Amino acid sequence: MTTRSASQRAAQRRPAKPRPSAEDRRRAGVRSRAPQRRRRLFVVLLTIVASAGLAAIVLPHFGDKLKEITLPLRHEDIIRQQAKDKGLDPALIAGVIYAESHFRDGQTSSAGALGLMQLTPETAKDIARRSGGSAFDVKDLATPQVNISYGAYYLRGLERSYGGNDTLVLAAYNAGQGNVDKWLRQAQAEDRTFTVSDIPFPETKAYVEKVLQARNDYRANYASELGLR
Q: Which residues are catalytic?
A: 100
Task: Concatenate the DSSP letters of all residues of 83-102 into one string.
Answer: HHHHT--HHHHHHHHHHHHT
Distance CA 136, CA 220 (A): 36
Distance CA 166, CA 211 (A): 10
- SS3 of residue 119 by DSSP: strand
- Are 97 and 91 contacting, i.e. CB atoms less than 8 angstroms apart? no
List all residues 6 or more positions away from 141 whose beta carbon is below 8 Å from its beta carbon.
114, 115, 119, 121, 124, 147, 150
- The alpha carbon of 168 is separated from its chain's Cα centroid by a whole number of angstroms, namely 26
Task: Concatenate the DSSP letters of all residues of 126-158 into one string.
Answer: HHHHHHT-TT--GGGGGSHHHHHHHHHHHHHHH
